[in-house]
């Protein structure tokens, strides 16, 4: 008796994205933890999953990778466009620490926050609101760097500014800039807030891949609950149901990626193990947004316990 054998006629029939193959998902999650490093045919030759033993190690290692890429671009004399998330967040303290220790001038960096809470019209939270991603980024990252990213090179996903991202990033790449996307993976395998149910709107993968952004995107209910747990102290009533977000037309342009999965809770509970295994094993599918990330060069940092084994356990 399990989800697959009991879902028909239940309240969850039709709740998950139509393109999700739960038998395939179950197979992805049935591997031994050590098998997570087994390379798949669709992985980029320079894609690498990196295991971290605990959150402190995760934050430090991911922060070091961000700072290292900023340092490398400075040494190479090129501009660096960085698509940045407001979750995970712990790595930003370490990124700032390494940049300050190395005395790196970040005037070559152009930041593009990947998403922001919004209403149906795309109007975003006031940047002084502690719940806004704009506030979080300024507080956790930009304000902590001694030689920080110039304010006019920091982009946030507002109704007015998000539509300028494609042109700005294209202009930077035309000048030889490197594009790096830093990201976390959602419970629904989204990247930014590009949700899996959006796949139903497009006839082909190529059409889906061409989407640059979305204003006032409708979020999946499990995305709302994920954020209620991780960011709003379980208070669902505070979580907006919509967000402005970049799309695959931007993040799939990345020259490198820096990903993170740190979704462990306590007492053995977690929410991100299935999402991690789907990302690494499902194979590229527009119904599983994160499944495209291993096709790009870069690193995906994850907590050891997320690899499993993913088995039933009473707590």
The answer, yes or no, to whether residue 315 has pLDDT greater than 70, is: no
**23-41 confidence digits (pLDDT tens):** 999 999 999 999 999 999 9
> What is the domain-level CATH number for residue 112?
3.40.50.1360
**137-195 confidence digits (pLDDT tens):** 999 999 999 999 999 999 999 999 999 999 999 999 999 999 999 999 999 999 999 99
Instruction: Report whether 180 contacts 108 (CB < 8 A).
Output: no
Single out the residue of 128, 116, 201 nearest to residue 165, CA to CA: 116
Q: Which residues pair with 78 in a beta bridge?
A: none
Beta-strand pair 256-261/298-303: parallel
Q: Is residue 15 part of a domain?
A: no
Q: Is residue 8 part of a domain?
A: no
Chain mean pLDDT for the chain: 97
Q: Is residue 26 part of a domain?
A: no
Q: Is residue 13 part of a domain?
A: no
Which domain covers residue 56, as residue numbers? 43-307
Question: What's the number of domains the chain is made of?
Answer: 1
Q: How much is the pTM?
A: 0.97
The residue whose two tokens read 């940049």 is: 99
Q: Is residue 6 part of a domain?
A: no
Q: Is residue 292 part of a domain?
A: yes
Q: Is residue 111 part of a domain?
A: yes
Q: Is residue 11 part of a domain?
A: no
């Amino acid at each position: 008796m399990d989800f697959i054998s009991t879902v028909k006629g239940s309240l969850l029939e039709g709740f998950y994205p139509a393109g999700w193959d739960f038998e395939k998902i179950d197979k992805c999650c049935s591997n031994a933890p050590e098998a997570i490093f087994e390379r798949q045919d669709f992985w980029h030759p320079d894609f690498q999953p990196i295991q971290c033993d605990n959150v402190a190690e995760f934050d430090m290692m991911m922060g070091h990778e961000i700072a290292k890429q900023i340092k490398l671009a400075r040494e190479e004399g090129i501009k660096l466009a960085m698509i940045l998330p407001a979750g995970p967040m712990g790595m930003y303290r370490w990124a700032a620490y390494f940049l300050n220790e190395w005395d790196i001038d970040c005037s070559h960096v152009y930041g593009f926050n990947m998403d922001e809470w919004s209403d149906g019209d795309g109007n975003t939270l006031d940047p002084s609101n502690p719940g806004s991603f704009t506030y979080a980024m300024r507080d956790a990252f930009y304000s902590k760097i001694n030689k920080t990213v110039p304010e006019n090179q920091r982009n946030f996903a507002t109704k007015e500014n998000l539509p300028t991202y494609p042109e700005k990033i294209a202009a930077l790449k035309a000048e030889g800039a490197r594009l790096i996307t830093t990201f976390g993976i959602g419970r629904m395998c989204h990247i930014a807030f590009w949700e899996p149910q959006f796949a139903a709107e497009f006839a082909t993968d190529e059409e889906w891949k061409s989407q640059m952004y979305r204003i006032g995107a409708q979020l999946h209910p499990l995305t709302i609950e994920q954020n209620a747990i991780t960011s709003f102290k379980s208070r669902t009533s505070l979580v907006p149901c919509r967000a402005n977000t970049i799309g695959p037309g931007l993040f799939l342009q990345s020259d490198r990626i820096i990903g993170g999965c740190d979704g462990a809770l306590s007492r053995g509970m977690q929410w991100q193990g299935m999402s991690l295994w789907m990302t690494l094993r499902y194979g590229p599918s527009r119904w599983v947004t994160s499944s495209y990330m291993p096709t790009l060069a870069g690193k995906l940092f994850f907590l050891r316990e997320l690899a499993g084994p993913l088995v039933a356990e009473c707590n």
